[in-house]
Structure 1
Amino acid sequence: MVEWLVEHGIGEDRALLVENDRILAARHFLSGAPWAGTIYPARLVSRSGGSARGTARTEGGLEILVDKLPRDCTEGSELLVRLTRAPIAERSRLKLAQGRPVAADAPEDSSNWALREVSSFAPGAWEEVWHAASSGVIDFAGGQILCCVTPAMTVIDIDGDLQPRELALAAVPAIAQALHWFDIGGSVGIDFPTLEAKADRGAVNQALEDALADWPHERTAMNGFGFVQLVARLEGPSLLHKFDTSRVGMCARYALRIAERLDGHGGAVLLTVHPALRAKIQDEWLAELSRRTGRQVRIETDPGLALEAPSAQIVPL
C-alpha cells in the first residue's frame, strides 16, 4: 500500500510517502509558513495598467505576485488568492509567493494527496531523509550524487569510479530518489559524465525517462557535454533550499524531535546542542517538548557538537 504519513513535530510537520516501509518521497512544512494550495484574503496593492498581473498583500504582510486578475480588479480591491508557489528564501533575496484569484466557494487545498497522521514514523525513516538532505549527498554503488541549490536552479553533480556510461546509468535511480526525497521542483541541471557516443547518451536519456515517469516534468536531451536540464512545477522551497538558507533552524527542530522520541520512564530530558541551536530554540518549543514528553526539560550547550548532531538523554531529576 502506498500512502502519505504525516508526523506533527514541534515547529514543523513532516510527511513521508511510504510503500511497504520503503520511502518514496518526502515533504516538510514549517509551522505557520505559507504553502501552495492555501487560500488567503488579500488586498491588491499594485497593478500595471493593461496587465493581468499585480501584487497583493495579506493582513499578515505576506506579499503575493498575482496573475490572471479580472479586468475589474483595481488597486485597493479585496480578493481571495490561492497560493500556487510559497515564498522561497535565497541567500541574497526572497522570491515572493505566487498565486491566483479564486471564488469565495473555492476549496481550501487543491492538492490531490491525502495524509494519514501517525504519532511517529518507523525508526530511522525521517533521519535517513533528513541527513541526506542536510548533506545533499546520496550514495549509490560505484559513486554518489551531490545536490546543490543556486539562484538559477538546483544542480546535481555525479562522481564515482565507474566508466562514464556505467556511472551515468548507475546514477539515474539516485537522481530520481533525490528529486522525490528532497521535494525538488523548478529548474534542475544534471551534470553527467561526458559521453561521446550518441548511443550512450540515448541510453541515459531513456533511463531518465523511465525513472521519472511518475514525476511530471519537461526535459532536454543530454548534450555533448553530458548536461541535462529538467523543469518541473515549483510549489515552494525544497529541503535543500531550507538547509541552504536556514540550517540552524532546521537543526534546532531536529534536536527537539530527537528529544521527543526518547524511550524510558521518569527523570528529566537533558538536551545538549551547539550554542547556535540554543539561540534558535524558542521557549514555547521547550514548553511543548515538556508537555509531549511529560518530563522536565533541561538544555545545555556544547560548542564541540556539530549542528546536525544533538544529544538527548533521560537524566535523574
Structure 2
Amino acid sequence: MAEWLYEAGIGEQRAALIDDDGHILRARIACDDAGLQPGLIAPARLIERDLARLDSGEDIALVRPAAGATLGAAVRVEVTRGAIPEPGRPKPPRGRITDAAPCPAPTLLERLRDAPVRTLRAHEPDALEAAGWSEVLEEAVTGDIPFPGGMLRFWPTPAMALFDVDGDPPLDALAVRAATAVAAAIERLDIGGSIGIDFPTLAGREARQAVAAAIDSRLTQAFERTAVNGFGFLQIVRGRSRPSLPELLRADPVGAAARAALRQIERTPASSPNRFRLPPAVRARILARPDWLAALLQRTGRVPIFNE
C-alpha cells in the first residue's frame, strides 16, 4: 500500500508518496518562507477591481473582478494560487473574494490526505533517500529524466512547461514509453498549468491514439489535452495552485542547496566531526539565517563549523 513519508525539516517540509516497490510517485517541498499559500482566507481591502491588498500588506490578483464592491471596501480573500517564480518578474498570488471565515493555509502535512503518513525522524534510517529523493531533486533541477530506451528533457517556461522526447526506434513504441514517463514525471514533480510534449513524429493514427491513451491511463488529477498532432505535439492543461518542484528549486538554487545541507547536517551522527565543507554561497546563506542555526542547535545540540 502506498504511503507518504514526511519530514519537518529546517526551513522546509518535505514529503514523498512511495509505492509498494519503494519508488517515489510524488515529491513535495513546502518552504517556510514561500509566501502566501493556497487555502489562506484573510481580510483585505479592494484597491482595484481585480486587485486586493491583505491587511498584512500582500497584494492578491483576483481571478475575476469584484462585483458590486467599491474601491477601498473591506473584503475577505481566499488564495487560490501562490506566487509562481519566473525569470524577471514572478506571477503574483491569485485569489477570489469569499464570505468564508478567515483561516490559515493548510500545511504540507495537512494536505497529505490520500494515503497513510509516516513521519520520519533524523536519527532513523533515511527512508526518503532510500526511495530516491536525491535523484528526484536532481531531475527537477537538471530537467533530464531517463526512462527505458530514452530520455525526457524538461524546461519550465513562462508560457508552458515543455517536455522533449529522445530515444531509440522504433518510434511508435518509444512514444508510448515516453508518454508513460511524462505522465509519471508530471505527477512526481507536481507540474501543472499548460504542458507541451514534443513526441517523435508518428505517421499512423493508431500510433498517435496509443500515445494519448498512455497519458490518459497514467495521469490521476483532472486535466484536458489535445490529440497528438501530425508533428508529434500534444498539449495538456492541468490545475495549478503552486510552483512545480522544478520551479521551486530553480528559483533559488542556493536556498535549496542550503536547506538540503541542513538536512544532511541534522542527520550526521553526534560522534562524527562537527566540521562541514560547503560552497561559499551556501555557507553564507545558512549563516545569514539565525533561525535556521537556532533550530539546528535545538535539534542536534551543536552549532556546526563550516570550513572555508
Q: 1:78 to 1:2 in 2, by over 3 A?
A: farther
Between structures 1 and 2, the one with greater strand share: 1
Contact kept? 1:290, 1:296, Cα under 8 Å: yes
Q: Which deviates more from structure 2 when the two are superposed, residues 245-254 or residues 228-237?
A: 245-254
The CA deviation at 1:69 is 5.7
The structure 2 residue matched to 1:74, chosen from 48, 70, 74, is 70
Q: List per-residue Cα deviations over 1:70-102 (Å, max 9, x = no partner).
A: 534221122221111101110111111111122
CA contact (8 A) 1:41 1:78 kept: yes
Residue 65 of structure 1 and its aligned partner are, at CA, apart by 1.0
CA contact (8 A) 1:69 1:101 kept: no
1:23 aligns with 2:24: yes
Match for residue 181 of structure 1?
Answer: 188
Partners of 1:59 and 1:240 lie apart in 2 by 31
- Choose from 251, 271, 282 the match for 1:277: 282
Alignment map for 1:285-304 (pairs within 5 Å): 285-301=292-308
* Counterpart AA for 2:150: G
Secondary structure of the corresponding residue to residue 234 of structure 2: strand
Per the TM alignment, residue 150 of structure 1 is displaced from its structure 2 partner at its CA by: 0.7
1:102 paired residue among 88, 98, 104: 98
1:1-317 aligned within 5 A? 1-20=1-20, 21-33=22-34, 34-47=36-49, 54-68=50-64, 71-105=67-101, 108=104, 113-114=112-113, 116=117, 118-120=119-121, 122-124=127-129, 125=131, 126-212=133-219, 214-262=220-268, 264-266=269-271, 268-281=273-286, 282-301=289-308
Change (3 A) 1:141 1:82: same
Give distance in 2, aligned partners of 1:152 and 1:69. 23
Q: More helix by proportion, 1 or 2?
A: 2
> How far is 1:32 from its partner?
3.2
Contact 1:44 1:77 in 2 (8 A): yes
* Gapped regions of structure 1 (runs ≥ 5): 48-53, 302-317
Partner AA of 1:59 in structure 2: D
Deviations 1:16-67 (A, max 9, x none): 22233332212211103222112222221111xxxxxx10112333211123
Aligned-partner SS, 1:221: coil
Amino acid in structure 1 at the alignment position of 2:75: L
| 1:161 CA drift (Å) | 2.1
* Distance in structure 2 (CA, Å) of the matches to 1:35 and 1:6: 19
| Distance in structure 1 (CA, Å) of the matches to 2:84 and 2:228 | 29
User: Aligned in 2, Cα 1:117/1:207: closer, same or farther, shift over 3 Å?
Assistant: closer
CA contact (8 A) 2:152 2:178 kept: yes
Shift of 1:118: 1.0
Q: What is the CA-CA distance between 1:230 and the residue it aligns to?
A: 0.3
Distance 1:267 1:18 in 2: 30
Give the TM-score normalised by structure 1.
0.85
Secondary structure at the residue paired with 1:32?
coil
- Contact 2:276-2:306 within 8 A present in 1 as well: yes
Task: In structure 1, give the amino acid aligned to 2:159.
Answer: A
Mean Cα deviation higher: 188-197 or 76-85: 76-85
| 3-state SS of paired residue (1:95) | coil
**Residue 179 (structure 1) shift:** 0.5
Residues 29, 245 of structure 2: 8 Å contact kept? yes
Q: Report how many residues are paired.
A: 293
CA distance in 2, matches of 1:205, 1:93: 34
Report deviation, 1:112.
6.5
Give the letter aligned to residue 18 of structure 1: I
In structure 2, C-alpha distance between the alignment counterparts of 1:78 and 1:216, rounded to whole Å? 34
The 3 A distance-change label for structure 1 pair 105 and 61 is closer
Q: Provide the rounded CA distance (Å) in 1 between the counterparts of 2:101 and 2:54.
A: 19
Compute the displacement of 1:164 (Å).
1.4
**Whole-Å Cα distance in 2 between the matches of residues 61 and 16 of structure 1?**
33
- Alignment check: 8 A CA contact 2:76 2:102 kept: no
- With the length of structure 2 as denominator, give the TM-score of the two structures: 0.87
Q: Distance in 1 between matches of 2:277 and 2:55?
A: 39
Report which stretch shifted further, 217-226 or 162-171.
162-171
